[in-house]
Amino acid sequence: DVQLQASGGGLVQAGGSLRLSCAASGITFDDYAIGWLRQAPGKELEGVSCISSTDGSTYYVDSVKGRFAISSDSAKNMVYLQMNSLKPEDTAVYYCAVQIAGDGSSWSTDYGMDFEGKGTLVTVSS
């Protein structure tokens, strides 16, 4: 079974930084996207960022471009999301997810995710 464990959330002031980590295990397929979703209070779940296992290409939702950076360490089966210049509107529960044969063009809840872990709460105070 695929297991995804997100960590690194917390409370930070606007303009600050946090790094989220996702420990992945049980992934036996070669073609997938792994990354992050988030759900802000009162809003729908949205795809934030992902990285492709096949070519390392990355995707970011427009609202985080230039502020967030996704990376992976395949040797450690870890995926990270470095979040800089955080804004109050980034406040959300962040989830690590995997989409088989996915990439940036499908990193949306419209297409569905194959695996999701429990979330980690990020709170950005103004």
Residues 28-64 have pLDDT tens digits of 999 999 999 999 999 999 999 999 999 999 999 999 9
User: What are the E-state strand segments in 27-109?
Assistant: 32-39, 46-52, 58-60, 68-73, 78-83, 92-100
Amino acid of residue 100: I
Question: What pLDDT is recorded for position 62?
Answer: 97
Q: How far apart are CA 48 and CA 119, in angstroms?
A: 13
Residue 17 has pLDDT above 90, yes or no: yes
Q: How far apart are CA 60 and CA 58, in angstroms?
A: 7
Per the structure block, which two tokens stand in for 111? 């297409």
**pLDDT band at residue 109 using 50, 70 and 90 as cut-offs:** confident
Are the C-beta atoms of residues 50 and 114 closer than 8 Å to each other?
no
Per cent of the chain over pLDDT 70 is 100
Closest CA to 111 of 32, 21, 29: 32
Residue 111 has pLDDT above 90, yes or no: no
